[in-house]
Amino acid sequence: FFASVEMAPGDPILGLTEAYLADPRPNKVNLGVGIYTDEQGRVPVLKAVQQVEQALARDTQPRGYLPIDGLPAYNKLSQQLLFGEGSPLLEAGRVATAQTIGGSGALRVAADLIKQVAGDKARIAISNPSWGNHHVVFRTAGFQLQDYRYYDDTTHGLDFAGMLEDLGKLEPGTVVLLHACCHNPTGVDLEPAQWAQVVELVKERGLLPFVDMAYQGFDQGIDADATAVRMFAESGIEAFVVASSYSKSFSLYGERVGVLSMVGADRDEAARLRSKIKQTIRANYSSPAAHGGQLVAGVLASSELRALWESELGGMRERIHAMRAGLVQKLAAHGHEFGFIQRQAGMFSYSGLSKPQVERLREEFAIYALTTGRICVAALNTQNLGYVADAIAKVVG
Ligand code: PMP
């Protein structure tokens, strides 16, 4: 039966991690992965999360199934984080929200649902470049894929004119995938005034905005990073989608904690969307996992733990800013201008390093990055920063 099955290509990022792990050099640095590590190079366990975990361990409960759309408290608290407390959309009952298997699960459930509605006309426009899984998820769900211009490699910033031009040419009804903040892989984001223009254009052209927010709180803060979501909410647009994730903001990568929110024109439309979301989840994996959802809901439901989490999230954010600043400063001391790294945001940076330069970093210095030049600045720390900066200075000559 399986004799004709072909070998699927390996994931390039995971392949890089395997090579890194097998590298015996003691000074090796992995800037390839999408994981935040702390000053000691470890994936942090947040204190707020630990407190909920300890409480759960003390009071072991039977392990029944969660509802198909997850823990009600998780969904309600997530809505407030995404749309803001007192959001008129929430008050009008226009948002259908479900706990999903990570942000990836939210993308996939929404993709399946939209495909069902749009049929053969299902089309999505994705920034060039974007997180590789965006293409995989939407292609697998049966969408036709298009790119829109986004990154300008001459400025290492945004090609905003190109983006507007490309979005302006899309067929009405096309889904537009937008990174809310901390764009993966470039680190290049829109300013609020630019978001306002995109919102206007999307509205005028009759496109369906699909906001992917995997890094809320990793750049400016919880509310500021949700600017795009809040602007769509205020725009009067009848329908949009938000996929979000707590993988990074709670440092709960393996717990697979994500959220899908679909906004409809009114309460009735949202109720129908909710029923369709549940049907789609049921057909995919029946219901989400309980533990991660309980951790997040436990933190968000307690004002004390929420404040602790916000300060820990703030600590991660500030450390990333400090690492960006440190890298720019050290490279400047070598006579290299990399100021754009400080204008980019979040865990990643399109460093502008070429493929041969990235290969030299790996071969000569045991520093692992993606051949596109994407580096994870959240994997830098005060112990490896000088080494990485010196090595980059050598390879850029
Ligand atoms: N969207 C983007 C842009 C991401 O970078 C990621 C994680 N790398 C995700 C979604 C998915 O997050 P999760 O790990 O929660 O599935």
Kindly indicate the confidence band of residue 15, based on its pLDDT and cuts at 50, 70 and 90: confident
Does 12 have pLDDT greater than 80? no
Q: Are residues 201 and 124 in the same domain?
A: yes
Domain that holds residue 274: 72-301
Quick one: 254 and 363 in the same domain? no
For residues 209-228, give the mean pLDDT. Answer: 98
Domain boundary among 281, 301, 321: 301
Assess if residue 170 is contained within a domain.
Answer: yes
Classify residue 37 by its DSSP letter.
-
Cα–Cα separations (whole angstroms), residue 294 to 237, 240, 297, 392: 33, 27, 5, 43
Residue 62 resides in a domain? no
Domain assignment present for residue 357? The answer is yes
How many other CB atoms are found less than 10 A from the CB of residue 397? Answer: 6
On whether the CB atoms of residues 31 and 379 are closer than 8 A, the answer is: yes
Whether the predicted pLDDT of 11 surpasses 90: no
pLDDT digits (tens, 9 = 90+) for 251-278: 999 999 999 999 999 999 999 999 999 9
Q: How confident is the model at residue 13 (pLDDT cuts 50, 70, 90)?
A: confident
- Give dist(CA 323, CA 392) in Å, integer: 15
Arithmetic mean of pLDDT, 112-136: 97
How does DSSP classify residue 68? T
- Residue 212: active-site member: yes
- Rounded-to-integer distance, Cα 195 and Cα 127, Å: 14
CATH of the domain at 23: 3.90.1150.10
> Which uninterrupted H or E stretch holds 12?
helix 12-22
Number of separate domains in the chain = 2
* C-alpha of residue 187 to centroid of ligand 1, in Å: 14
Please determine, for residue 179, whether its predicted confidence score (pLDDT) is greater than 90.
Answer: yes
Residue 232 lies in a domain: yes
Is residue 17 one of the residues assigned to a domain?
yes
Which residues make Cβ contacts (< 8 Å) with residue 43, sequence separation at least 6?
35, 36, 37, 251, 253
* Catalytic annotation present for 23: no
Phi-psi region of 181 (alpha: psi -120 to 50; beta: other; left: phi over 0): beta
Q: Dmax over Cα atoms in the chain, in whole Å? A: 62
| pLDDT of 61 over the 90 cut | no
Of all protein residues, the one whose alpha carbon is nearest to atom 2 of ligand 1 is 214
Residue 98 has pLDDT above 80, yes or no: yes
pLDDT digits (tens, 9 = 90+) for 142-161: 999 999 999 999 999 999 99
Residue 55: how many CB atoms within 10 A of its CB?
Answer: 13
- Report residue 377: phi and psi, to 5°: -70, -20
C-alpha separations of 240 from 177, 230, 292, 368 in Å: 10, 11, 26, 38
Cα 161 to averaged position of ligand 1 atoms, centre (Å)? 27
Q: What is the 245 CA–ligand 1 centroid distance (Å)?
A: 7
Q: Of 282, 301, 320, which residue is a domain's last?
A: 301
At residue 300, the pLDDT reads 98
Give the model confidence (pLDDT) of 310-329 as tens digits: 999 999 999 999 999 999 99
Assessment of whether the complete model's pTM goes beyond 0.95: yes
Q: What is the pLDDT of residues 28-41, one digit of tens each?
A: 999 998 999 999 99
The confidence score (pLDDT) of residue 54 equals 97
User: Catalytic: 115?
Assistant: no
In a domain, 381, yes or no: yes
For residues 289 and 318, membership in a common domain is answered with no
Higher-scoring residue by pLDDT: 81, 15: 81
For residue 14, how many other CB atoms are within 10 A of its CB? 11
- Among 178, 184, 260, name the best residue to mutate to test ligand 1's pocket (greatest count of ligand atoms within 8 A of Cβ): 184
Q: Is pLDDT above 90 for 183?
A: yes
Which residues have any ligand 1 atom within 6 Å of their CB?
34, 102-104, 131, 179, 184, 212, 214, 245, 247, 258
User: Cβ distance 341 to 328 under 8 Å?
Assistant: yes
Distance 177 CA to ligand 1 centre (A): 13
- pLDDT above 90: residue 9: no
The ligand 1 atom nearest the CA atom of 183:
3
Last residue of one domain, picked from the residues 236, 271, 301:
301
Per-residue pLDDT, 226? 98
Candidate list 212, 219, 309, 330, residue with the active-site label? 212
What is the number of the ligand 1 atom nearest to the C-alpha of 134?
1
Strands (E), the chain: 29-30, 95-101, 123-128, 144-149, 151-152, 157-158, 175-179, 208-213, 240-245, 257-263, 348-350, 367-368, 374-376
- Rounded to whole angstroms, how far apart are CA atoms 290 and 71? 8
* Judgement on whether residues 246 and 370 belong to the same structural domain of the protein: no
